[in-house]
């Protein structure tokens, strides 16, 4: 369809080359930058520029690209990964399969961090790879992590969602050795409409005895500087006791690790004295 020098195409095949950053399958955010982004202010009296960096709205135009030249077209690229996996990894063997998919993914992820996964059927928490999303060249926001390798945060929302949904940040309050900064941890959980199974590992760690207190689905945790959730770093084995301690304190204080009734993120501090400080 064409009108007044504008033309509507069914796919990006008309480019005659790979889509690159113009691929309709890549997730967008209004705070993104680059020549493909445009922000218009309709009324100069009411500027929206200050709100743009805080926006959690993300969207995309397609699940699969249909451009035969594009690397994100699964028909011509067997190394692209369908996300989220169905079902999400719940045990050691499935975790190993997903790790292999991340390592073999093409185009290569620009960076990969290390997080901690509390899978529903696992016997223990494990370190896992958490890459940047496709199309992201450098990390500036925790929302740019491709956490859907491990937790289905979108559920039925395949095209428009909120990057702040189903996550919660805890900042550790404790005395650290001189020169070390206390960490913070951000928990990612699955969308409530995924209807994941009860997490047996979290149930064991937290000593949960009531079915109504169960945490459902996988839980993924990433590490960052305390109070600066965008200053991310790799999780190590030494972080697992800290994270499990947060889970225990949440259960002890009857605070959901992430209350699905409060879908947006909140900030919480965890003290070593066992008191959860809001």
pLDDT in tens, 235-251: 999 999 999 999 988 87
Predicted structure pTM score: 0.85
Average pLDDT of every residue of the chain: 84
Confidence at residue 268, expressed as pLDDT on a 0 to 100 scale? 47
Confidence at residue 278, expressed as pLDDT on a 0 to 100 scale? 29
Confidence at residue 2, expressed as pLDDT on a 0 to 100 scale? 55
Residue 265 has pLDDT above 70, yes or no: no
Residue 50 has pLDDT above 80, yes or no: no
CA distances from 81 to 2, 64, 86, 97, 261 (A): 34, 11, 12, 12, 31
Residue 102 has pLDDT above 50, yes or no: yes
Residue 227 has pLDDT above 60, yes or no: yes
Token pair for 174: 């404790």
CA distances from 271 to 30, 92, 187, 192, 277 (A): 36, 32, 17, 29, 7
C-alpha gyration radius of the chain: 20
Q: How are beta strands 167-173 and 267-271 bridged, if at all?
A: parallel
Confidence at residue 24, expressed as pLDDT on a 0 to 100 scale? 93
Pick from 256, 168, 174: which is nearest to 213 by CA? Answer: 256
Pick from 110, 104, 85: which is nearest to 95 by CA? Answer: 85
Token pair for 252: 């002890």
Residue 30 has pLDDT above 90, yes or no: no
> 147-206 pLDDT, tens per residue?
999 999 999 999 999 888 889 999 877 666 666 778 899 999 999 899 899 999 999 999
Cα–Cα distance for residue pair 134/102, rounded to 1 Å: 11
In the structure, what pLDDT confidence band is assigned to residue 1 with cuts at 50, 70 and 90? low
Cα–Cα distance for residue pair 98/145, rounded to 1 Å: 16
Backbone angles phi, psi at 48, to 5 degrees: -110, 0
In the structure, what pLDDT confidence band is assigned to residue 271 with cuts at 50, 70 and 90? very low
In the structure, what pLDDT confidence band is assigned to residue 67 with cuts at 50, 70 and 90? very high
Whether 243 and 185 have beta carbons less than 8 Å apart is answered as yes
In the structure, what pLDDT confidence band is assigned to residue 3 with cuts at 50, 70 and 90? low
> 35-47 pLDDT, tens per residue?
556 667 777 788 7
Question: DSSP string covering 3-58, please?
Answer: ETTEE--SSSGGGSS--GGG-TTS-EETT--STT-----S-TTS--TTTGGG--EE
39 versus 113: which is more confidently predicted? Answer: 113
Residue 128 has pLDDT above 70, yes or no: yes
Whether 121 and 203 have beta carbons less than 8 Å apart is answered as no
């Amino acid at each position: 369809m064409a009108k007044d020098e504008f033309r509507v195409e069914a796919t990006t095949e008309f480019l005659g080359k790979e889509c690159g950053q113009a691929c309709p399958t890549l997730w967008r955010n209004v705070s993104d930058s680059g020549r493909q982004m445009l922000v218009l202010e309709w009324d100069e009296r009411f500027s929206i520029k200050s709100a743009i960096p805080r926006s959690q709205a993300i969207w995309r135009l397609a699940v699969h690209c249909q451009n035969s030249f594009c690397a994100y077209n699964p028909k011509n690229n067997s190394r692209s990964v369908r996300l989220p996996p169905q079902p999400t990894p719940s045990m050691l063997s499935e975790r190993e399969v997903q790790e292999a998919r991340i390592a073999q993914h093409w185009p290569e992820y620009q960076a990969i961090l290390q997080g901690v996964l509390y899978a529903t059927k696992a016997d223990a928490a494990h370190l896992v790879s958490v890459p940047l999303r496709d199309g992201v060249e450098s990390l500036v926001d925790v929302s740019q992590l491709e956490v859907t390798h491990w937790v289905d945060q979108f559920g039925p929302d395949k095209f428009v969602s909120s990057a702040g949904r189903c996550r919660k940040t805890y900042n550790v309050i404790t005395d650290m050795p001189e020169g070390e900064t206390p960490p913070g941890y951000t928990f990612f959980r699955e969308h409530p409409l995924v209807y994941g199974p009860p997490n047996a590992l979290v149930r064991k760690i937290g000593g949960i005895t009531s079915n109504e207190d169960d945490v459902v689905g996988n839980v993924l945790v990433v590490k960052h500087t305390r109070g600066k959730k965008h200053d991310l770093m790799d999780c190590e084995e030494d972080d697992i006791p800290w994270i499990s301690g947060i889970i225990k304190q949440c259960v002890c204080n009857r605070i959901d690790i992430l209350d699905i009734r409060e879908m947006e993120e909140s900030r919480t501090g965890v003290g070593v004295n066992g008191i959860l400080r809001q």
